[in-house]
Amino acid sequence: MTECFNGGTFPRMEYRHNVDLEELCPVCGDKVSGYHYGLLTCESCKGFFKRTVQNNKKYICAEKQECRVDKAQRKRCPFCRFQKCLHVGMRLEAVRADRMRGGRNKFGPMYKRDRALKQQRKALIHASAFRKESSPLLVSSTHQRDYTFSGGFQPDTIPQSAVLPTAQNDIISHQHPSLLPSNSPGATLYQYPSFSNWTVKSEHPNNCAISSGSAAGIYSDNLFSSPPQGSRMPRLVMEFLRCDPDEIQLQSKTTARLKQEHSGSNKHRNPSTFSIMCLMADQTLFFIVEWARTSIFFKQLKVSDQMKLLHNCWSDLLLLDIISRQVMYGREGSLLLVTGQEVELSDISSLAGPTLASLIQRGKDLVEKLSVLKVDRQEFACIKFLILFNPDVKELEDQGFIESMQEQVEGTLLEYILSTSSQHFGRFAHLLLCRSELRTLSSLAEDYLYFRHLSAEVPCNNLLIEMLCAKRS
């Protein structure tokens, strides 16, 4: 089975569900049911361990304390079974002494690391399979735009584009008129359609089928880190980059939108900074929906699955867009807006309440982590697709396909890391953990935004509010 684009074909990997890393209980070999008392175990061993600890049971082995413990014989010798529970890492201190339901969940960070490592091992398997199925391109040291693919796929050359302009010394205030553009040459105005009826109409070409010479979201090399000279880049990573939204067009549209809103409002009353930020987020979200609808693999899904996935992850993708902009070409201590303007974080924090100030600080911490990792555009592109293809979303019609796409993206990301980083194993796990932190932060941001919406402080009748309320309907 293949995915077609630009007159060529791209091999689609077919994966069987969890065949490579079938999770088995380390005590008896039965199928695991989740994390219990420190590690993944089955329901039977979870219950046995809990009863033994809570009842302070003392067992005696009738043999030589070397009894075989497996699914068929796990009840034969409780002494050896309990010793094996302790040996493989089940934690006594995780069992509640008051016999109430629910363990002492002190091991959240450990569970996260364990899940990340398991995802890493699974991705490593799929990356290995992916390398056998496809021929990666070689990025030469002297001609980084002369890409050659096997299988007849010839990508367009990647032209240079102008660097995003920044408005220096734009200090944000409670009412900040300087965030509103005085003019916006060449920009056009437009109306937002309804997302619920899926009538979002593209106002820009399909970035996954661009013509030669189109910028299509590719920027000058000094802004984005390129793979090391002579490294191999997976073909799917290149396709992810081709699908990226056009940042220059997004900047132009957002500027035009702000100008439109300002000209239609009371000229003697400047909109609040919060309202301006919401308008920027709304415009960015519109581009994110457009990006998803025209992206490789996603457009093959039924509309119902597309809507479920986007309703689930829109805030993650919106936050990732903001954070990636700071990591790739932001300045420490400031916030680079989608319009190209730059505001000081200290000025925002000084005007923010405790909830918003906490969100800002957590976002700043995440930016610092990703900056230390020096996450590049290729990795951010992969993370976007990992966020989009979430098989855990409820009531998906094609969950198997979505899961296989997530595994393929994980394999592609790991393959890219293996070819560009000497600390590849730790880097992959760190990126997965950062994705988890992004999810937590976006959920908190949603709650904050919804509270402001209920207080009538957020502009209504736009895509941002429609998506925000969809989860709570």
What radius of gyration do the chain's Cα atoms show?
A: 26
What DSSP string runs through 171-189? ---SB-GGGS-S--TT---
Backbone angles phi, psi at 388, to 5 degrees: -65, -50
**Residue (of 94, 260, 120, 65) closest to 181 by Cα position:** 260
Collapsed DSSP state (helix, strand, coil) of residue 10: strand
Binding residues, by number, are: 353-356, 448
Using DSSP, state whether 5 is helix, strand or coil.
strand
Per-residue H/E/C for 47-96: HHHHHHHHCCCCCCCCCCCCCCCCCCCCCCCHHHHHHHHHHHCCCHHHCC
Task: Kindly state the tokens that stand for 116.
Answer: 């990340």
Residues facing 27 on adjacent strands: none
Q: Which segments of 203-333 are extended strands (E)? A: 232-233
Residue type for position 73: Q
Structure tokens at 121: 């091992």
Q: Rounded to an integer, what distance in angstroms lies between the CA atom of residue 419 and that of residue 144?
A: 16
**β-bridge mates for residue 36, sequence order:** 39
For tokens 């937002």, name the residue: 192
Q: Show the 3-state SS of 378-389.
A: HHHHHHHHHHHC
Give the Cα-Cα-Cα angle 302, 305, 306 (nearest 5 degrees): 85
Q: Residues marked as binding for a phospholipid derivative?
A: 353-356, 448
Q: What is the signed CA dihedral for 389, 392, 395, 401, rounded to 10 degrees? A: 40
DSSP E strands, 225-365: 232-233, 334-336, 342-344
